Structure 1
């Protein structure tokens, strides 16, 4: 009976067809058990009774197997749907971020020229105030240039986020090495990696330890990606992937799975590790 209860408890989240199938199986198992116990060996005879008990056991085993298959299939379908939605959302975010950053850079570029024109013309008394204003604007005008537009967008976006939280983001990246990936894949892959890194270093009290480094380079016919960040405590790993520390674990962890899916879809390998207070993400992708 406890075997059946596991599936029954899942009914609120199941589809009507699954509920109907479960009810039929439950009724069959319970009914067969009642009939066998009611008749007993005295009425049925020992051999038929043992055969009936064996059939009942096989049916219970089949029920357990079916339950696991149904739940596993539904979980896989749910995860795929979440990843599909995440991919679509990342694509939307990428397009929006690209437009916003382009607009900000154009506006900042114009303002810098206006400040320079005013300062050169001597029409503003406090030149130092203009210099301070120009230096502040320069933060928003410092778009990363890697020769890959999608990587430029995500690095500029995350660079601004790091600047606002006193996090040092060091980047050495050859964007041409990422030609094997689609723009939305680049935005999703690096967005997830940097979001996780920012979240990890955000809680470090010492500002000098809030460090994130990103390296993208060619190595022969391969593209090598490395993201590192400081961490106070090593995460727990399961199947080579860090386990989320958030309370609602079922609603999180899709970012790392999405990263691995992108890399493996292109024939690459993605690994996670943590040594000596440094968490690292390493990816190896064929460029062809």
Structure 2
């Protein structure tokens, strides 16, 4: 009996050591991946478009795989390690954004970008530069993508003119469309946080766009003023749809985690109210 007990204890200890080694490996692999991504940011300026597109797709796939690996051992990590992993996520998002901007600003790209903007009838505003968040959103990084987008827009909202807001809104719609494609694979906790970001964005965007229109109204013709009024009404409807869609997503997520998500929705509504009062 003693021998059997010793063997059993020994097996358990070996299994724990194996899990610990695997969790450390997952973390180290993710850390190396992020560092490699950061190191290669500037190199894309000299790449062919086909190579850039292929590497971008590979980056998304590898990121999802690395995140899935560390998430597998989430319960094994202490708080310090979990914070390190969150920092790695942020570093990756920053590196990805920088990589994308390096590509867009590469030598010889100006003409191509101008043609694309003309084809899409995009009029650049005074401050906002499109970043295409929809092009990089995945189930693993959706929460970070929404949070980064909303925080950036909120931080600079006083600088935007009406054309900035039109371009921001176009990118937001594209992000929502991309989100809908991966929503079913997003963890319930992240879904709840994304809904909070949607409500915050809908609230301050509608208010600030109205202010931007008012500032430009003095130069509007009578016909232009009518268009501004119609567009403002469209925005009010859009906010209503955002709230409705948010409630629907929270309800779906609630099937997974119940009260936790409902609580997050209440917190989101409270944050929106505070945003309106700012």
Instruction: Work out whether the TM-score is over 0.5.
Output: no
Higher helix share: 2
Q: Quick check: which has more Rg, 1 or 2? A: 1
Q: How high is the TM-score relative to the length of structure 1? A: 0.30
Higher relative contact order (CA 8 A, sep 6+): 2
Higher strand share: 1
